[in-house]
Structure 1
Amino acid sequence: MIKAVLFDLDGTLLNRDESVRMFIERQYDRLAKLIGHIPKDQYVSRFIELDNRGYVWKDKVYQQLVDECKIADITWEALLQDYVREFKNHCVPFPNLNEMLKELKSNHLVLGIISNGYGQFQMDNIKSLGIDQYFDTILISEWEGMKKPDPKIFLRALEKLKISPNESIFMGDHPENDVKAAQHVGMKGIWKRDFHWDHVEADSIVNDLSELPLVIVNLSK
């Protein structure tokens, strides 16, 4: 019987690709007087490329962007602060996010998030999505002093929820950091399909968040 469902954030609940694109386009528009010598398409596409789906922190991204694009009227530090301050205003959820979470809570499941990243930044994004009230525990790697795929962060979350691994599932988009790492500690690993990966071995695969409640029913049999 499944009693707890834990989630990754970026690429699972938060459509990070769309959120980043929306943010960087609007950053260009806000700061056009300072960076307008660069074509918008170039600024946007190069930022997304350097960002590498969030695996490169933005201090490195902006330093390189300023250097490559010969930006002189604003510092990389100011661009970074704009990112930290404004990104939360551009968070795009995947379809059916709130409906799915409401259904899981109505089924008396306890819910959690385990996310790699900076603590306040990720918490701001969770609150921006309007979903923080659904979760019984939220673990963010900076605040925990460990990150996925370290098994200890999964076990810490389960301890907080007072749930054993075989009574829980974890859903995420990354084959190693999410699916295999969760399976390694005895949880069911659910893959939220991501076009960056061809095939992932998982206990179940979800294309749309609305599919998850039925997946949980089937795994509970």
Structure 2
Amino acid sequence: MGIKAVLFDLDGTLLDRDTSLMLFVRDQHNRYPQFQTIERDFFMQRFIQLDNNGYVWKDKVYQQLIAEFSIQGIEWNELLNDYLSGFQRHCVGFPNLLNMLTQLKNNGLKLALVSNGFGQFQYDNFKALGIAHLFNEVLISEWEGLRKPDPAIFMRVLSKLGVEPKEALFVGDHPENDIRASQAVGMKAALKQNDAVSSGVDAEIIIDDLGELIQYILN
């Protein structure tokens, strides 16, 4: 494919956010006695509904949960701080994550992360996956003052890597922020499919498993 650099989204692409969130919420429910009057599976289900695939920040989620379940003796900001400090301990990568990145790196490709979100929170989650040593650049929207799908954040990381858009592949799970936005600046795009992605996304590569990237990029 003539690719010199591969850029990745984090949530839903490298990080199995759905599994990670369920692990965290189960643990938080177990640790807080204020939650014990609420059936755990029901609490988890409602949390995940309110979270809306990460597009609702947790201050709103916790405020809603406290109101709905009439939770006493704890404030939403304490629960938010617990989330911010504790989510990283439950982060799980998708299958074949480390092997795929290691093979790409060993074959001379430059790797970068481009993620929307809060800087330290996202970086802690990224580090928790045990892959940070393989990456040349990490750009997170809060720290950069730019968010996908803004073309400027893609051009910034390409400049840092020293590659042209046509020499780079962006791997993500969001049709607009990842796929169409990276293609708009001249990059190729690989869609990591998930249940939330609608059909008909026009990506150069479509994968279900991260391991599939190896055959597309290195062959």
TM-score, shorter chain, exceeding 0.5: yes
In structure 1, list runs of 5 or more residues that go unmatched. Answer: none
CA distance in structure 1 between the aligned counterparts of 2:35 and 2:209, rounded to whole angstroms: 38
The alignment partner of 1:209 has SS state of: coil
Could you tell me which residue of structure 1 aligns to residue 4 of structure 2?
Answer: 3
The superposition leaves residues 7-51 of structure 1 with CA deviations (integer Å, 9 ceiling, x where unpaired) of 0000000000000011001100011x1221111122111110000
- The one-letter code matched in structure 2 to 1:204 is I
Mean CA deviation greater in 36-45 or 90-99:
36-45
CA distance in structure 2 between the aligned counterparts of 1:71 and 1:34, rounded to whole angstroms: 6
CA distance in structure 1 between the aligned counterparts of 2:6 and 2:107, rounded to whole angstroms: 11
Q: How does 1:1-221 map to 2 (within 5 A)?
A: 1-31=2-32, 33-199=33-199, 200-217=201-218
Aligned sequence identity (%): 55
**4+ aligned runs moved over 2 Å, structure 1:** none
- The one-letter code matched in structure 2 to 1:184 is A
> C-alpha displacement at 1:94, in angstroms?
0.2
The alignment partner of 1:143 has SS state of: helix
In structure 2, list runs of 5 or more residues that go unmatched. Answer: none
The superposition leaves residues 185-220 of structure 1 with CA deviations (integer Å, 9 ceiling, x where unpaired) of 0000110011212322101101111110111135xx
- The one-letter code matched in structure 2 to 1:192 is K
CA distance in structure 2 between the aligned counterparts of 1:206 and 1:99, rounded to whole angstroms: 16
Provide the TM-score with structure 1 as the length reference.
Answer: 0.96
- The one-letter code matched in structure 1 to 2:218 is V
> C-alpha displacement at 1:165, in angstroms?
0.2
Provide the TM-score with structure 2 as the length reference.
Answer: 0.97
CA distance in structure 1 between the aligned counterparts of 2:82 and 2:71, rounded to whole angstroms: 15
The alignment partner of 1:190 has SS state of: strand
CA distance in structure 2 between the aligned counterparts of 1:44 and 1:151, rounded to whole angstroms: 36
- The one-letter code matched in structure 1 to 2:149 is P
Q: Is the 8 A contact 1:35 1:73 kept in 2?
A: no
- Number of residue pairs matched by the alignment: 217
> C-alpha displacement at 1:69, in angstroms?
0.8
